[in-house]
Amino acid sequence: MQSHEQLAWLPPGDVWLDDEGQIIQAHGGGMLIFEGRYYWYGENRDVPPGQGNVKGVSCYSSTDLVHWTHHGVVLPVVHDAPDHDLYFRKVIERPKVIYNARTRQFVMVLHIDSPDYKYARVGFAVSEAPTGPFVYLGSVRPNNSESRDMTVFQDDDGQAYLFYASEGNATMHIAKLSDDYLHVEPDYIRIFENEYREAPAVFKRRGKYFLITSGCSGWEPNAAQYAVADSILGPWEVVGNPCRGPGADKTFGAQGTFVLPVQDRNTWIFMADRWKPKQLWNSRYIWLPIHFLADDRIVIRWEGGAAERTGHGGQENA
């Protein structure tokens, strides 16, 4: 159903504040839409220098994408167990949450790593409520393969998939998750072989699957690339950079993390992080609408002003 109501969100690149006036800490994040609310999960990087990488995963919620209520750190790091996956000096990145209607659990899937990024695992946590607290279950190397930047995608039939940068980040894998979303199934496909893509963000529109990735250049921005498929398990057709205009070769200084489908508004929002490597807590959010051309081609432009940015019909000609 297409609505003509306008959809707006905060200005990309500005300082975004929560309901308490604090800078929103939801980096490398993802969004869950549940019972009419948006739940935004991401890395809380509000840690003093030398006090580790991350505070844990924070959750914010909103009904309008503009006003965000902070629900606190729903998966905190631990300080007293250096071997624990969530030890405060380790890497905890790119959390994504999906709801499992069968088990009635909210399942968080996230990148767990050592400070040198050699541990390369995917972790799982569960909660009875979207606002936590999440209970950490542990991490795996899916199919005995490395898993760094990752995302999960839940299809309309409830099947969930894990996309993860593997093989030294050279090749991305896609595997099904088990029915309870807590295990990675043994079969997987390899895509972007030796292309070094990371930061996967997946969405579906009119039966087609889209996957936007970044290149691998640490915290520095690079050119995005997207691929399209009729089936999640491939084949994926690599199309090219969806970004257009000044800054397009560097994804407008940002790196993708999620695509938020606001389907009743016929709008898909590309969510990206403009990292500040020396002040990760102060990194900015860049959310831009995705425009759809004929033949399942997409375009993302810098759209900074509120009037430019508000909801659109989704289809354009050139």
Q: CB of 66: closest distance to ligand DGJ in angstroms?
A: 26
Q: CB of 165: closest distance to ligand DGJ in angstroms?
A: 8
Please give the residues from 190 up to 209 whose contact with ligand DGJ meets the rule CB under 6 A.
198-199
Which secondary structure element, helix H or strand E, spans residue 98, and what is its range?
Answer: strand 91-100
Task: Check residue 116 for interaction with ligand DGJ (CB under 6 A).
Answer: no
Task: Check residue 149 for interaction with ligand DGJ (CB under 6 A).
Answer: yes
Strand partners, 176: 161
Per-residue tokens: 267: 């709008």
- Which residue's structure tokens are 């998750």? 177
- Residues that bind ligand DGJ (rule: CB under 6 A) add up to a total of 9
User: From CA 44, how far away is CA 27, in angstroms rounded?
Assistant: 7
Where does residue 141 rank: exposed (0-12), middle (13-18), buried (19+ CB within 10 A)? middle
Task: Check residue 218 for interaction with ligand DGJ (CB under 6 A).
Answer: yes
Contacts of 20 (CB under 8 A, 6+ apart): 70
CB nearer to ligand DGJ: pick between 94 and 301: 94
The three state secondary structure string of 133-201 is CCEEEEEECHHHCCCCCEEEEECCCCCEEEEEEECCCCEEEEEEECCCCCCEEEEEEEECCCCCEEEEE
**Identified binder of ligand DGJ from the candidate list 10, 12, 16, 28, rule CB under 6 A:** 28
CB nearer to ligand DGJ: pick between 93 and 146: 93
The three state secondary structure string of 264-304 is HHCEEEEEEEECCCCCHHHCEEEEEECEECHHHCEEEECCC
Q: CB of 87: closest distance to ligand DGJ in angstroms?
A: 17
User: From CA 300, how far away is CA 197, in angstroms rounded?
Assistant: 19
Say which amino acid occupies 312: H
**Identified binder of ligand DGJ from the candidate list 18, 85, 93, 303, rule CB under 6 A:** 93
**Identified binder of ligand DGJ from the candidate list 45, 94, 176, 284, rule CB under 6 A:** 94
Task: Check residue 36 for interaction with ligand DGJ (CB under 6 A).
Answer: no
CB nearer to ligand DGJ: pick between 76 and 95: 95
Q: CB of 194: closest distance to ligand DGJ in angstroms?
A: 18
Task: Check residue 219 for interaction with ligand DGJ (CB under 6 A).
Answer: yes
Say which amino acid occupies 34: F
Task: Check residue 142 for interaction with ligand DGJ (CB under 6 A).
Answer: no
Q: CB of 118: closest distance to ligand DGJ in angstroms?
A: 13
CB nearer to ligand DGJ: pick between 53 and 61: 53
User: Which pairing describes strands 135-140 and 284-289: parallel, antiparallel, or unpaired?
Assistant: unpaired
Q: CB of 100: closest distance to ligand DGJ in angstroms?
A: 25
Residue span 45-84 as binding mask against ligand DGJ, x where in contact by CB under 6 A, dash where not: ----------------------------------------
* Footprint on this chain of ligand DGJ (rule: CB under 6 A): 28, 93-94, 149, 198-199, 218-219, 255
